[in-house]
Structure 1
Amino acid sequence: MKLSFKDIYRPGVKYTRFLSVILLYGIAYGLYRGIQDNYLAELVHITSFERGVVEFFREIPGLLVVLIFALMYRLSENRVFKIGVIFLTVGLGSFLLVGTGKVQVIIVMVLFSMGEHIVLPLRSTVSMHLAKKETGGRALGVTGAMDQAGRITGFILVSALFFIFAKLGYSRNDSLFFRVVFALSFAIMAAALVVVLPMEESTEKVQRRRFYFAKKFSKFYMLEVFYGARKQVFLTFAPYVLILQYGADASVISLLMAVSAAFGIVFNPLIGKLIDKVGYKIIMVSDTLILVVVCFFYGFAHRIFPRDIAFMVVCANYVLDAIISLASMATNVYVQDIASSQEEVTATLSTGISVNHVISIFIALMGGWIWKVTGIEVLFTISAFLGLLNSVYAATIKKPV
């Protein structure tokens, strides 16, 4: 049976403002993400090894997210969410003020990352808080679909602007193109800030724990370690494989991201529905088994196929990778299922982000070094092995009675 928004969300809650913010955030993020890797490779001249170093610093806010939440423990979830949007807006605006110096760019990326990692756990928390108890998975699916719809718009705008600038005679690495995209992204994120500021505060007082490690969440924390490694390899090095190995420009990267996001709109609600129907355990195990195939083609397509065919295979692989990564929402539902309160959900998710960022930072540094010294084959073989470990560990989860 198809459920309407009224069936998913609790009576009386104003979910439209929240979903509007998610949509605007998605557009702004799509614009930014669509050019990020080409900006680093072509304008800032970041090598594959240096890309890992950049990611090391960019991920530090994720590692410190529990401390960040601790400093704001007296504030409501909605207010902290607003602060995250402020960081995102300031970060995007700062790209217009700095040049292409590596240190300056890294500092601005860290500022943007601060907002991103504040919003990340709260996006799920607020979404599930607005939903009925039995439709948490569907609410996460709707939120994810809105985010993906926004990102598609942003990615398509990047491709369209790239095409226009190319027709006007600008080269693929002309700084004006990147500055225009950053300006547009900043304007849209500023609009999201305007929309989110009047959002109603929670009426209940939230005493957010500074750190939260409970025995019942031990499996979740371990799963976050595996997810952190998988996420880092995909986000950091998959686009760089396309750019450095196959020469993909910003229009190709953003178009691939748009296609991935389009599939996300379809698969986000479906995966959310599957989680509610078959359970989070089956989803956790299945998606990482598919990941092994994805990693194989990332690492070895250029050795199996001619260059043009290998490029198409890796592009298809990129989209498949993005689709299976959507299943990570299953861990959020798992936490909600065993948590005692909404506060415990937030504390656990934010602590989980810090846990997965410990391995993320390590993978960022080691990944660039492994690529430089041994090649992408070894890098993605290691990622596949971690995926197998994730599946084995997820299979040990027992649903509470």
Structure 2
Amino acid sequence: MYLYLLLLTVAGAVGLQGWRTLINNFAVDTVGLNGFQFGLVQSIREIPGFLSLLVIYLLILFREHRLAAYAAVVLGIGVVSTGYMPSFSGIIVATTVMSIGFHIAETLNQSLTLQYFGPAKAAVVFGRLRGVASVCNLVVGAVIFVLADMLDFTWLFMAIGCVAIAIGLYCLRLNPTIEGLTPQRKTMVFKKRYWLFYALTLFAGARRQIFTAFAVFLLVQKFHYSVQWVTALFFINNAVLMWAGPAIGRWVSRFGERRMLTIEYSGLVVIFLVYAFTDSAILAGAMYVADHLLFNFSMAIRTYFQKIADPADIAPSMAVGFTINHIAAVLIPVLGGILWLTHYRWVFIGAACLSVVSLCLAQLTGADGKPFSESET
């Protein structure tokens, strides 16, 4: 299963990172979108996150690992189609298809990891997969950096999407499952005792979406980053994460969820405020790298849930968690786009405030990852 998850991680990393590397310049330079339109595209991109709930019922028809492979194929189709639709409406359609595939694949990737690897190993596996994703991102970034002046956006999107499609089709031939795992419930699971997991997931989605939707957009619009400079930034970012991903997984396992989440959210408050007020293109790029480094700490939310959950609740709860994450993710880019029309600074000040809320919630987890009320009272 580890090798299967690795393949799915490669498909998702290549497809999503390639799309993210190109989409800002494609939207600004080719299609001519403004901040509000781009925020709307990012909100629509997150709507398929609500489809994560459908994963629960799709598992009645498909085995979990096969559904993940189909999702990788859909992701690739969405990426390929982006380059053939150089318009506002075209980007919306292609982005929706891409997003459906990505969100289903990511939901199942997390679910399978938590099912097949126990609390002592899950964080380490998450970290290793993040490291593999970073290596893939480096390769994608290097290829785009070299080919950006030789190929137009249509060919670049096609090449990236075809990699995800090929991996998904190959995974359909494999069967990595083993016997003896706890059967997963095929109905929606929403329990009161999981409330802290739901809350952390909600606010993580909100603050994360602000950076996803607007950080690179600001670098392109205000600081005039070219596609090569954006790619170089992604290259630096993933070079750091290639080492840091596995290390962070080990740190979560060693030091516990509360400490790691505290570090993440404290750092994010600083990062967002710097991003809001800096006039330095170099410092803004550095904050982008720092944000992605801290984002890896969020695996602690899932390992926290693994420690408190009924084993049969993992797959449906990952689906519910993705849906909760996207309640904020759908709304935030539109609201951020409106704030952007007033001043971009307010978007990042708002993200800093959301990070403060997350910091407070993180203190309610026990030092050993269990709810505070169970472990320390």
TM bracket, shorter-chain basis: over 0.9
Structure 1 contact 76–201 (Cα < 8 Å) conserved: no
Q: Residue 159 of structure 2 aligns with which residue?
A: 184
CA distance in 2, matches of 1:18, 1:334: 21
* Aligned AA (1:41): V
Structure 1: gaps (5+ residues): 1-13, 166-175, 303-309
Structure 1 123/28 Cα, relative in aligned 2: closer, same or farther at 3 Å? same
2:103 counterpart of 1:146: no
Q: Residue 109 of structure 1 aligns with which residue?
A: 95
CA distance in 2, matches of 1:205, 1:286: 34
* Pairing 1:53-92 to 2, within 5 Å after superposition: 53-92=40-79
Q: Residue 196 of structure 1 aligns with which residue?
A: 171
Once superposed, what is the RMSD of the aligned Cα atoms? Answer: 1.8
Structure 1 185/246 Cα, relative in aligned 2: closer, same or farther at 3 Å? same
* Pairing 1:1-400 to 2, within 5 Å after superposition: 14-96=1-83, 98-162=84-148, 164-165=149-150, 176-200=151-175, 202=177, 203=179, 206-302=183-279, 310-341=280-311, 343-373=312-342, 375-398=343-366, 399-400=369-370
* Aligned AA (1:390): S
* Aligned AA (1:147): A
Where in structure 1 do 4 or more consecutive aligned residues deviate above 6 Å? none
CA distance in 2, matches of 1:66, 1:397: 26
Deviation at 1:376, TM superposition (A): 1.7
CA distance in 2, matches of 1:15, 1:325: 22
What is the TM-score of this pair, normalised by structure 1?
A: 0.87
Per mean C-alpha deviation after superposition, the further-off stretch among 39-48 and 229-238 is 39-48
Structure 1 contact 65–117 (Cα < 8 Å) conserved: yes
Deviation at 1:121, TM superposition (A): 1.8
Name the SS for the 2:278 alignment partner: helix
CA distance in 1, matches of 2:184, 2:303: 22
Structure 1 contact 23–146 (Cα < 8 Å) conserved: yes
CA distance in 2, matches of 1:69, 1:88: 19
CA distance in 2, matches of 1:194, 1:76: 15
Structure 2 contact 6–132 (Cα < 8 Å) conserved: yes
Structure 2: gaps (5+ residues): none
Deviation at 1:123, TM superposition (A): 1.4
Deviation at 1:314, TM superposition (A): 0.3
* Residues 170-197 of structure 1: per-residue CA shift (max 9 Å, x gap): xxxxxx5211211210221122123311
Structure 1 contact 52–365 (Cα < 8 Å) conserved: yes
Per mean C-alpha deviation after superposition, the further-off stretch among 227-236 and 391-400 is 391-400
Structure 1 contact 73–208 (Cα < 8 Å) conserved: no
Structure 2 contact 114–314 (Cα < 8 Å) conserved: no
* Residues 183-237 of structure 1: per-residue CA shift (max 9 Å, x gap): 2102211221233112216356844433221112100101111101111111000
Q: Residue 3 of structure 1 aligns with which residue?
A: none
Aligned pairs, number: 367
Structure 1 contact 280–334 (Cα < 8 Å) conserved: yes
Structure 1 40/210 Cα, relative in aligned 2: closer, same or farther at 3 Å? farther
CA distance in 2, matches of 1:119, 1:385: 31
CA distance in 2, matches of 1:295, 1:93: 33
Structure 1 contact 27–154 (Cα < 8 Å) conserved: yes
Structure 1 contact 292–385 (Cα < 8 Å) conserved: yes
Structure 2 contact 252–300 (Cα < 8 Å) conserved: yes
Name the SS for the 2:310 alignment partner: coil
CA distance in 1, matches of 2:103, 2:11: 17
* Residues 321-366 of structure 1: per-residue CA shift (max 9 Å, x gap): 110111111111011111121x412211211111111111111110
Q: Residue 172 of structure 1 aligns with which residue?
A: none
Instruction: Give identity over the alignment, percent.
Output: 23
CA distance in 2, matches of 1:57, 1:382: 21
Structure 1 86/47 Cα, relative in aligned 2: closer, same or farther at 3 Å? same
CA distance in 1, matches of 2:294, 2:31: 31
Deviation at 1:132, TM superposition (A): 4.4
Deviation at 1:133, TM superposition (A): 4.3
* Aligned AA (2:102): E
Per mean C-alpha deviation after superposition, the further-off stretch among 122-131 and 34-43 is 122-131
Structure 1 contact 79–201 (Cα < 8 Å) conserved: no
* Aligned AA (1:144): R
What is the TM-score of this pair, normalised by structure 2?
A: 0.92
Structure 1 contact 17–195 (Cα < 8 Å) conserved: no
Per mean C-alpha deviation after superposition, the further-off stretch among 242-251 and 182-191 is 182-191
CA distance in 2, matches of 1:387, 1:132: 29
CA distance in 1, matches of 2:132, 2:217: 27
* Aligned AA (1:182): F
Name the SS for the 2:86 alignment partner: coil
* Aligned AA (1:336): Q
CA distance in 2, matches of 1:115, 1:271: 27
* Residues 5-51 of structure 1: per-residue CA shift (max 9 Å, x gap): xxxxxxxxx53243134224323333222101111111121111111
